[in-house]
Chain A
Amino acid sequence: MKRVYPAEEFCVACRLCEVYCATEHSQSRDVIRAFKEEQPPPTKRIFLQQEGAASLAINCRHCDEPRCVWACVAGALTKDPVTGVVNYQPEKCIGCWTCLVACPYGVIVRDPNRPKIAKCDLCPGRDVPVCVAVCPNRALVLS
């Protein structure tokens, strides 16, 4: 399956991936309205990390061996046998945070707006996830 890989040598920590990820998962899907008006504010599912000059943006790896799926006590996380996407059903999530301890990449977060998790869904309906599409430096690669 295709995943989003960070190419850290090209990342300049501009955070456009975070901005557009949050917008994509907002109510309006409009960047200005999402950030200026929406309540609750939108939640990003990709995370820019920085250490000195090094930076990278990372999101769900949609693991071949998904520890979060194995750990999920609610059956809210499942691995799609055809597409390989690690799917998330928020209506089943009980916000127990077990998947956060299981995820070796630290890319599942508590949704700040409700007692449930948030994670990358690879932007269903788009050919290319929005983080990859908006990155000005090709520091995020779908392959």
Chain B
Amino acid sequence: MPKYLIVGNSAGGIAAVEAIRQVDPKGSIAIVSDEPYPAYSRPAIAEFLMGERPFDERMLFRDADFYSRNRVETHLGVKVLRLDVGGRKAVLDNGEALPWERLLLATGGTPIMPPMQGLALEGVHTFVTLDDARRLRQALLNGAKRVVVVGGGLIGCSLTHSLLQYGGVQVTLVELRERILTTMMDTPTSQRVEARLRKLGVQLLTGRSVVRVLPDAPGARVGGVLLDNGEELPCDLVGMAVGVRPRTELAHGTPVRVQRGFLVDRHMETSAPGVYACGDAAESHDFIYGASRVVAIWPNAYIGGRIAGFNMAGDAAQYDGCTAMNAFSYFDLALASGGMFDPEAQEECTTLSKESGEVYRKVVLKHNRLVGFVLLGDIEQSGVLYRLMQEQVDVSQFQEHLVADNFGLVKLPRPLRQAWIREDGRVPQKATAPAGRAHKAVE
């Protein structure tokens, strides 16, 4: 009987295995996932779609022997139908029931499909899983030439970027809001990306939405889309990239509380004792917004899974929260952003920004603390900014340096930079391991 049962086989689930094994080398672990593959890099499906990377060990998130080495029993391609939290077991769609002592719900997100006609037509795809990328690739190799991408967020841009590698493919990107990439960029940076997209030949429609997918003449396949202004766009493929929502269905009928995502405490434990949650399916404390939010980014999933794993194995690790941490690498543009990078007026923040040529820097300050940043074109020092934000360092004495071209550790007050360098990467808060669990290598 597995002591630890993990539902979900991506960043959060793998992190939990790695943390559990640091504490408990023996306790049995089982992972269930409805995807039939070992954990792979989800963002790498973009390279798979471009044809640059086959599905081999280079796409795997961990070495091929990860599961055997960590003695993890895998149930891949199997779905959990429901949870019996009182009886501590999970009922699978293959008829099995897996008992647990500690359960982790690392179920991730599921693509949002706005209600509209035509989504069941052949040629409508999401772009979240390897199988999505396989289906899209097949359609493109079969000659699809006109693609409508619905949603101008990170996934929509990633999909567009991959599609542009196919010769002769015409992409139309439709975004409901007035600009693309609102979850990771401010207006000036969004506009830079939009200008680049247009230059690359993408037809960009902002402030527009798709209200229906239209069939072709025989009626089984996609023939076009209908926009909210009544215009019809003919196309062969539709990529749905409106967003993802936490996948929390398993909580139905259980004591596990859900708002937008699974609600967890600082130990990543849900309202049901022994049941933990992390990643895109869970809410986290955002230390900039001071609120519980779903921060659906890979690093947060990994850190949450790691903290959950330590706690599941009996070590009281505490998660002190996170905030947005974004990187963008498409269309030959590099961008990094974090925290409250595009504050509402009522936040009463001050902003410093600097623009020169292809480089744009902006920091957002509140009460002498850094609360957000955007860097475009020169992003190497973004992690230093993130840390200043995370540790709520008073930056008033050096704030003008934060947007300087040569910003870096040397621009910080000497005692601060020397303390950071001396601590050997045991950053003294936020998601650190319990005492003694930090990695100390053999001398």
Interface residues of A (CB under 8 A from B): 1-3, 5-6, 8, 47, 49-51, 54-56, 58, 61-67, 70-71, 73-75, 79-85, 91-92, 94-98, 100-106, 108-110, 115
Output the residue of B15, B379, B439 with the most chain A CB within 10 A.
B439
Given contacts A64-B424, A64-B426, A65-B426, contact A73 B41 (CB under 8 A): yes
CA distance A95 to B387 in the complex (A): 21
Contact among B327, B421, B432, B439 with A6 in the assembled complex (CB-CB below 8 Å): B421
Complex contact A100–B379 (CB within 8 A): yes
Task: Please give me the residue from chain B that is nearest to A52 by CB atom.
Answer: B410
Residues on B with C-beta less than 8 A from A95 are 329
B interface residue count range (under 10 / 10 to 19 / 20 to 34 / 35 or more): 35 or more
CA distance A75 to B274 in the complex (A): 29
Residues on B with C-beta less than 8 A from A1 are 440-443
Complex contact B61–A74 (CB within 8 A): yes
CB distance from B236 to the nearest CB of A (A): 27
Output the residue of A5, A50, A97 with the most chain B CB within 10 A.
A97
Output the residue of B47, B418, B427, B431 with the most chain A CB within 10 A.
B427
Could you say which of B190-198, B202-210, B248-256, B299-307 contacts chain A? B299-307
Asked if B433 lies at the interface with its beta carbon under 8 angstroms from chain A, I say yes
Residues on B with C-beta less than 8 A from A100 are 327, 336, 379-380, 382-383
Residues on B with C-beta less than 8 A from A110 are 334, 379-380
Output the residue of B15, B303, B408 with the most chain A CB within 10 A.
B408
Residues on B with C-beta less than 8 A from A2 are 443
Chain A to chain B contacts (Cβ below 8 Å), 22 pairs: A3-B424, A6-B421, A49-B408, A51-B411, A56-B409, A56-B417, A58-B408, A64-B424, A67-B427, A70-B15, A70-B302, A70-B306, A71-B299, A96-B329, A97-B327, A97-B379, A101-B382, A105-B383, A105-B384, A106-B381, A110-B379, A115-B329
Residues on A with C-beta less than 8 A from B11 are 73
Complex contact B43–A74 (CB within 8 A): yes
Complex contact B439–A101 (CB within 8 A): no
> Which residues of chain B (262-282) have a CB below 8 Å from chain A?
none
Asked if B60 lies at the interface with its beta carbon under 8 angstroms from chain A, I say yes
CB distance from B135 to the nearest CB of A (A): 21
Complex contact A96–B410 (CB within 8 A): no
Asked if B44 lies at the interface with its beta carbon under 8 angstroms from chain A, I say yes
Output the residue of A5, A55, A63, A96 with the most chain B CB within 10 A.
A96
Residues on A with C-beta less than 8 A from B381 are 106
Contact with A along B3-43 (1 / 0, CB 8 A): 00000000100010000000000000000000000000111
Complex contact B441–A104 (CB within 8 A): no
Complex contact B410–A56 (CB within 8 A): yes
Complex contact B439–A65 (CB within 8 A): yes
